[in-house]
Structure 1
Amino acid sequence: MEWRKCYLDVILVPLGFSITVSYHVYLWHKVRRQPLTTIIGTNATGRQFWVSSIMKAILKQLTLFVFLGWGQDNDKKNILAVQTIRNLIMGATLMATTSILISAGLAAVISSTYSIKKPLNDSIYGAHGEFMVALKYVTILCIFLFSFFCHSLCIRFMNQVNILINTPPDPMSIVTPEYVCELLEKGFVLNTVGNRIFYSALPLILWIFGPVLVFLSSVSMVPVLYTLDFVFENGKGEGKMDVSENGDYI
C-alpha cells in the first residue's frame, strides 16, 4: 500500500533530477572541450582579455604619472574595473540573500506545527505521509543552503579581485594578470554553480504539489537552458583558444 502512494515520487523525482544533472554534465564537457561553442566558455575567454587589458592600462597610467605627470585621463579605467566587479558582487549578494531567506522560511515551516506542512489536497498524486513531506522540505532546504554557500564564496573571491585588479603588474610579484584572472574565474564558477543549484531547486518546490510537476518542470527547463547556454551553431566557434597554460576555462 505504501508503494502505491509513493511510487511516483520514487520514479519521477529522481528521473527529473537526473535529466537536469545529465544536461549539466554535457554542458561541462562542452565547456572543457569546445569552450567557444558555449556562453560560459566565450565569456571566460573574454574575461581573461579584459583583466589583462585593465591591468595593462593601470600600469600605463602609473608610468605616465611617474615620468610625465599624466594619468588623470586614465582614471576611468580604474572606475570601470571597480564598478564592474561591484555589480557582480551585488548580483551575487542578491542571490545569496534570496537563498538564505527561502531557507529561513523553509526552516520555519519545518519547525512549525501548522497545517501548511500537510498536503493541500488529497487528490494530488504522490505520497502524503509525514516522512515524505518532511523529506521534501529538507531536500529543498539543503539545496538552497548550498546555493547560499556558493554565492557567499563567490562574493569573497570578487572582493579579492576588486582590490587586486588595481594593482600594477610587476614581473617580480605574484599579483599578475593570470593570478587575478584565476581568482575572477573561481568567483564566476561559484556564481554559476550557485545559480544553477538555485534553478534546480525551483522544480523541487513544485514537489510539494506532486512529483508529476517536478518531472514536467525539469524537462521544460532543459531546452530553455540549452538556448541560453550554447552559441555558434553548425560547427562555428568550435575551436579552442588557449589563453592559459593548462587550457582550463572554469
Structure 2
Amino acid sequence: MHMEWRTFYLDVTLIPLGLLINLTYHVWLWHKVRTQAPLTIFGVDADGRRLWIPAIIKDIEKKSIVAVQSVRNLMMGSIFMANTSILLCCGLGAVISSTCRVRKPFIDSVYEAHGEFVVALKYATIFTIFLFSFLFHSLSVRFLSQLSILICSPQHVITLVTPEYLTDLLRKATILNFLGNRLSHTGLFLLLWIFGPVMAFSCSVAMLLVLHKMDFVAGKQNMNVGIHQGSDIHLQI
C-alpha cells in the first residue's frame, strides 16, 4: 500500500493544489470586479456594453451591418471553442472506450503506470471540464443568436425589445463565454496531467500569471473615471 501511494502522491497533492489556486484566483477576481470594477477588464467591458447597445439602436438603419457583424464575430469565437471542446470530449471518449489491448501500452508509456484508478480519474476530470466548457459556449451562442435578430428590431413602435433587454442578452452571452473560456484554460493544464502532475501544476501557475495580466487594466485613470459610476457598472457585470 505504501508503494502504491508513492507512485501517485504527487497526483493527489499537486493537482488539487493547482485547482485550488485557480479557484482562489477567480474568487479574488470576482471580488475585485464587484468592488473595483474600473480596474478590471470586465468593468470596462460592462461599461462598454451599457453604452454600445443604445448607440447602435439609436441609428440602427445605418449601423445594422456593424451590429450584426460584431455579434457574429463574438458568436464565431464561441462556436469555435464549443467545437474544440466537444471534439476533445469525443477523443477522450474514444480513448476511454477503447479495448484494453490497445489502451494498456499507451497507459504504461505515458501515464507512468500509476494505476487504473488514477488513469480513470484523469480521463473523467478532463472529460467533465471540456463537457461543461461546451455547454457554456453553446448557451452563449444561443443568446448571441437571439441578440443578432432582436437588435435590428424597429424602436419607433411599442415593443418588448428594449435597450435594457438587449444589454442583458449581451451580458449573459459574455458571462457564459467567459466561463467557457476559463474552463477550457483549466482543461488545458489538466491535459498536461497526462504527462505528469509536475508539468500540469507548473502550467497552472504560469497560466494564472498570464490571466492576471489580461484581467486587469494598467493605470489608475480608469479608477478615477469610474468613481462616480462604479456602482452602476458592477451591478451590470
Q: Is 1:227 the counterpart of 2:229 in the alignment?
A: no
If the length of structure 2 is used for normalisation, what is the TM-score?
Answer: 0.90
- Alignment check: 8 A CA contact 1:31 1:249 kept: no
1:86 is the counterpart of 2:72: yes
Which piece of structure 1 moves more, 32-41 or 236-245? Answer: 236-245
CA-atom RMSD, angstroms? 2.1
Give aligned pairs, total. Answer: 230
Distance in 1 (CA, whole Å) between partners of 2:230 and 2:202 is 40
Comparing 164-173 with 208-217, greater Cα deviation is found at 164-173
Alignment check: 8 A CA contact 1:169 1:177 kept:
no
Letter in 1 for 2:38: L
Tell me by how many angstroms 1:241 deviates. 5.9
Give, in angstroms, the shift of residue 3 of structure 1. Answer: 1.9
The offset of 1:242, in angstroms, is: 4.0
- The residue number in structure 2 matching 1:119 is 108
Q: Which has the higher helix share?
A: 2
Q: Distance in 1 between matches of 2:156 and 2:37?
A: 30
Query: Which residue is 2:132 aligned to?
Result: 146
Of the structure 1 ranges 110-119 and 98-107, higher mean CA displacement relative to structure 2 is found in 110-119
Could you tell me whether the CA contact under 8 Å between 2:140 and 2:173 is conserved in 1? yes
TM-score by length of structure 1 reads 0.85
Deviation for aligned residue 1:249: 3.0
Question: Which structure 1 segments of 5+ residues have no match?
Answer: 62-73
Among candidates 180, 189, 197, match of residue 203 of structure 1: 189
Displacement of 1:240 in angstroms is: 4.9
Question: Distance in 1 between the 2:106 and 2:71 partners?
Answer: 41
| Residue among 51, 54, 59 paired with 2:53 | 51
Aligned pair in 2 of structure 1 residues 81, 244: CA closer, same or farther (>3 Å)? farther
Superposition pairs of residues 53-202 of structure 1, within 5 angstroms: 53-58=55-60, 61=61, 74=62, 77-113=63-99, 114-115=102-103, 117-120=106-109, 124=112, 128-169=114-155, 172-202=158-188
- What's 2:10 paired with? 8
Q: How far, CA to CA, are the matches of 2:39 and 2:95 in structure 1?
A: 43
Q: CA deviation at 1:79?
A: 0.5
Identity rate, percent: 51
Report the secondary structure of 1:119's partner residue.
helix
- Please name the residue that 1:23 is paired with: 25
Is the CA contact (8 Å cut-off) linking 1:33 and 1:240 kept in structure 2? no
Deviation at 1:156, TM superposition (A): 0.3
Change in CA separation of 1:232 and 1:171 when aligned onto 2, cut-off 3 Å: farther
Cα offsets for 1:80-109 (capped at 9, x unmatched): 001111111111100000000000000000
Gaps of at least 5 residues in structure 2 are none
Does the C-alpha gap of structure 1 residues 249 and 240 become closer, same or farther in structure 2, counting only changes over 3 Å?
Answer: farther
Equivalent-residue separation in structure 2 for 1:25 and 1:241 (angstroms):
25
Displacement of 1:173 in angstroms is 2.9
Distance 1:197 1:121, change over 3 A: closer
Q: Does 1:237 align with 2:201?
A: no
User: In the alignment, does 2:37 pair up with 1:35?
Assistant: yes
Residues 177 and 121 of structure 1: CA distance in aligned 2, closer, same or farther (over 3 Å): closer
Q: Given the superposition, is the C-alpha separation of residues 25 and 244 from structure 1 closer, same or farther in structure 2, using an over 3 Å criterion?
A: closer
Note the alpha carbon deviations across 1:128-168, whole angstroms, 9 max, x for none: 10111011011100100000000000000000100111113
Q: Distance in 2 between matches of 1:155 and 1:85?
A: 10
